[in-house]
Amino acid sequence: MRVLVGHNAYQNFGGEDAVAASETRLLRERGHDVHEYNRSNAELNRLSLKDKTRYLWYLGWNEESYQQVRTLIRNVRPEVAHFHNIYFMMSPAVYHACRAEGVPVVQSLHNFRPLCANGLLFRNNHVCEDCLSGSLMPAVLHRCSQNSPIISAMVVRMLRSHRKMKTWHEKVNVYITATEFTRQKYAGSGFDADRIFVKPNFVEDPGDVPAQDRGYALYVGRLSDEKGVDVMIRAWKDLTDIPLKIAGDGPGRLYLSGYIQRHAIKHVTLLGHVDDEKYRELMGGARYLVLPSICYENFPRIAVEALAYGLPVLASRLGSLEEVIHHDENGMLFEPGKEEALAAAAKTLYQSSDLPRMRTAARQKYADEYSPDRNYEQLLAIYERALHTA
């Protein structure tokens, strides 16, 4: 099959970028003719102030991307176009380009951007669904996009204009969500449930990794409010018998390092960003992974990577996490944002005699649901569905 894959990279490489790259690679490995249309938000750094202002005004329709996609389609004649992120250099104009050239569109919904100005359904350290009722004005009032009233207003203008143009309903043939939770959020907000298909993302198999439990808990990810790292460090303050290693960086690092110093915490180690070799070493030696998010995780990729290593996960009972982590089977769940609940669960799991059984269950869930082979089967079935709805 000849496939056009489109992705707008973020300024800092993240989960969506990894998914786009891995799915593109998977298609090529299976013999498909894949053509890419890539842009990056890093392009904004090269614009003058005048051009940035102009770009912001035309946020909802990037004519350059529209024309480039039409030209690319005419040159390579793809059977289907599959987009990952389209914000903010591509814009929804790329859907219109595909429709104008008669190419069916598949859109992976990696976040909640068509429903929410910041894409997270999260505000002021809490889940926020104010805009799901239909109006997007709360996003402007609360400066939900980059804490800027102007940028928030422009994002809302973009979303409202494409709602009026029926872009989401008429220019995209099928949507992909990574979990049923995300599918239900979109279906409950007016998207056609019959055109939304659940296909979890996959992670590469690390192979047979011998269990080398070195007795520490592990957090890997962005250090930011929505990830619940402040809740985690407060919960861990008195868990002196459970070493915690924290790998990652982000705006919350200053808070974490300051808290550790103020309370003279010796059993928590901030590692910062780690390379692939160190990451594999950490995953292979941990007793369990901690995932304390207080926002809806659309697809908790790090949790699935832990399962691939046969590593149980201690996670918030929130959003999509309950679909990946089953309490007392391949990990444990606790009430989100509750440091006492996290501390109690951390101690229970650390001392559990069921850890070997949980390790086996974790690895089995990965093999059943999140392997490359399983993902490929589902992806091709969705492409066929898009072709039949064109």
pLDDT in tens, 67-85: 999 999 999 999 999 999 9
Count of C-beta atoms within a 10 Å radius of residue 281:
14
> What integer pLDDT is reported at residue 337 of this predicted model?
97
> What integer pLDDT is reported at residue 56 of this predicted model?
86
Which residues of the chain have a pLDDT value below 70?
A: 210-211
> What integer pLDDT is reported at residue 11 of this predicted model?
87
Contact of 255 with 263, CB cutoff 8 Å: no
> What integer pLDDT is reported at residue 50 of this predicted model?
86
Beta bridge partners of 197: 176
Q: What's the token pair of residue 51?
A: 């051009």
Classify residue 107 by its DSSP letter.
E
Residue with tokens 């928030």, as numbered in its chain: 152
> What integer pLDDT is reported at residue 244 of this predicted model?
99
Give the whole-angstrom CA distance, residue 291 versus residue 379: 27
Give the whole-angstrom CA distance, residue 241 versus residue 64: 57
> What integer pLDDT is reported at residue 181 of this predicted model?
97
Give the whole-angstrom CA distance, residue 213 versus residue 280: 13
Q: What's the token pair of residue 375?
A: 């993902």
Which three-class secondary structure state does DSSP give residue 220?
A: strand
Contact of 304 with 367, CB cutoff 8 Å: no
Contact of 119 with 139, CB cutoff 8 Å: no
- DSSP track, 229-281: HHHHHHHHTT-TTS-EEEE--STTHHHHHHHHHHTT--SEEEEES--HHHHHH
Domains of the chain as residue ranges with CATH: 2-202+371-389 (3.40.50.2000), 216-369 (3.40.50.2000)
